[in-house]
With several copies, the nearest count.
Chain A
Amino acid sequence: MVEVTAQYFAAFRERAGCERERLATRSSTAQELYAELADRHGFLDAAARCKVAINGEMARWDTRLASGDTVLFFPPVAGG
């Protein structure tokens, strides 16, 4: 188990109903955690179309989580 903070943006924030939450998880990678949270909150976007940042830096989905990490979940972008 690791203790992490999940932070949500745009559609994810509105869907989750909160900006961030602390949670204990058995997920070992960012992608596993996304699957867990998508299931819990009803995020419908495939991870491949989303992005993740860990502790202020863009990260790969297969990055392993450590206790204390802040994991930012970015839904599909639409700048411009």
Chain B
Amino acid sequence: MTFAISAEVIDPETLKARLAAARAGACVSFEGWVRDHNDGEPVTALEYETHAELAVKEGEKVLAEACARFDIALAACVHRVGLLKIGECAVWVGASAEHRGAAFDACRYIIDEIKQRLPIWKKEHYANGASAWVNCATPAAPAPARLSAANQTP
């Protein structure tokens, strides 16, 4: 039951090998790949930022919840940070179990919770040179000269 943040390329086979257990007959794994677009906008790269300590703490909590809720043998998750190219693996989740139902349910639970709860942010770089933090209303660009534009409007 390990969660990790990694600045290096994720290696699914090594991670999956750690889920092996003699009683495990099923292993379900999920990979999140960097797509070439989002909402119709062409994307050239993704940048992930995290608060590693709190992300690991919350990630391990999610894995423990999955173990309590579903009859699984082992589960693990690794999330990348830094600059990723199209097609690279941004997140890997794996769960092994005696029977496949629990492995599917646990894997899905883990990725759903990881996406919602962990302090991880994703910046998209677009073909036109612009960039934006996904899900954020606050613009990526700094406020000019540290003056808040919002404060200047009457």
B151, A39: Cβ atoms under 8 Å? yes
Contact pick for A15, options B51, B122, B142, CB 8 Å: B142
Q: How far is the CB of B17 from chain A (nearest CB, A)?
A: 21
B148, A9: Cβ atoms under 8 Å? no
B134 at the interface (CB under 8 A from A): yes
Contact bitstring A44-58, B, C-beta under 8 A = 1, else 0: 111001010100111
Contact bitstring A40-80, B, C-beta under 8 A = 1, else 0: 11111110010101001110000000000000101111111
- Interface size on B (CB < 8 Å)? 39
B136 — which chain A residues lie within 8 A by C-beta?
Answer: 10-11, 44-45, 75-76, 78
The CA-CA distance from A18 to B91 in the complex, in Å, is: 28
B127 at the interface (CB under 8 A from A): no
B122, A42: Cβ atoms under 8 Å? no
B123 — which chain A residues lie within 8 A by C-beta?
Answer: 10
* Residue from the set A18, A46, A51, A77 with the largest chain B CB neighbour count within 10 Å: A77
Chain A residues packing against B (C-beta within 8 Å): 9-12, 14-18, 39-46, 49, 51, 53, 56-58, 72, 74-80
Chain B residues packing against A (C-beta within 8 Å): 32, 48-51, 53-55, 58, 79, 90-91, 111, 114-123, 133-143, 146, 148-151
